[in-house]
Amino acid sequence: MPVWNPDIYALYRSYRERPALDLLTALPRDIDPVQIWDLGCGAGEQAALLSARHPSATVHGMDSSPQMLERARGLSSRVDWVLGDIACFAPEQPVDLLFTNAALQWVDDHAVLFPRLASALAPRGVLACQMPLVTDAAWRKTLGEIAATGPWAPRLAGVEGVRPSHDARDYYAWLAPLCPEIDIWTTTYLHALYGQDPIVDWTMGTTLLPYLDALTDAEERAGFLDAWRARLACDYPRREDGVTLFPFTRMFILARRD
């Protein structure tokens, strides 16, 4: 399991928070939740916001990273911070709001996962999900190509990164038997990034983690990153004003149980 670093993940924080805030804004106005879970809560910002928005609710923030939860505990004493694996999520009580931002792309078998999450909802409960769509992104393709070539290839052959994205129609089909109200959409954010290697910096705290964990030799790790940097410089050239434009697409899902 990758070791998450809250400080690295916090780079470009405003860009990372925007989709979560967009998802929060899209929640149904009539919900009055008693039990709220934030799955893959990370450093806890959204769980703390949900706790402030719904002061009478019991809010749980679950993450698999002790480092992230240590940071989260400094945000709110009202949130029940839980160390756990989303794949094993089994709440003791029905959930009125199940919120998950940029986390489920790390979990296997969505055809099983999404119906199971929907089945955990209380009547009229809401599943609110956001996931990055990276399968067709140029940076993701070149990362896979670089990982499969060079002296590091044997050590990266078994690395499991972000899971492949599914079609929106698949998620609708998986959720429809339990949720008569489903809204699915995508948004592409055009991030204007500064710095020498901003896309490497962006992915250092997320997508690159399992690759870097597998490369224990510092020289080999540096060679791997340099090879990817060279490809990124061609696909995402830095503008004369120092900006690197980085389109990033995300899928949003709102599903309400009957």
Residue with tokens 């989303």: 86
> Are 116 and 255 contacting, i.e. CB atoms less than 8 angstroms apart?
no
Predicted confidence (pLDDT) per residue in 68-122, tens digit: 999 999 998 899 999 999 999 999 999 999 999 999 998 999 999 999 999 999 9
Q: Distance between CA atoms of 132 and 164, rounded to whole angstroms?
A: 10
Report the Cα 195 to chain-centroid distance in Å: 23
> Are 60 and 40 contacting, i.e. CB atoms less than 8 angstroms apart?
no
Residue 3 has pLDDT above 60, yes or no: no
Amino acid identity at 102:
A
Residue 255 has pLDDT above 50, yes or no: yes
Cα angle: 231, vertex 220, 245; to 5 degrees:
25
Task: Tell me which architecture the domain covering 6-30+102-257 has in CATH.
Answer: 3-Layer(aba) Sandwich (3.40)
Structural domain spans, the chain: 6-30+102-257
Q: What is the pLDDT, as a whole number, of residue 6?
A: 53
Q: What is the pLDDT, as a whole number, of residue 1?
A: 46
Residue 135 has pLDDT above 80, yes or no: no
Residue 134 has pLDDT above 90, yes or no: no
The residue-averaged pLDDT of 14-36 equals: 95
Residue 10 has pLDDT above 60, yes or no: no
- Percentage of the chain beyond pLDDT 90 is 81
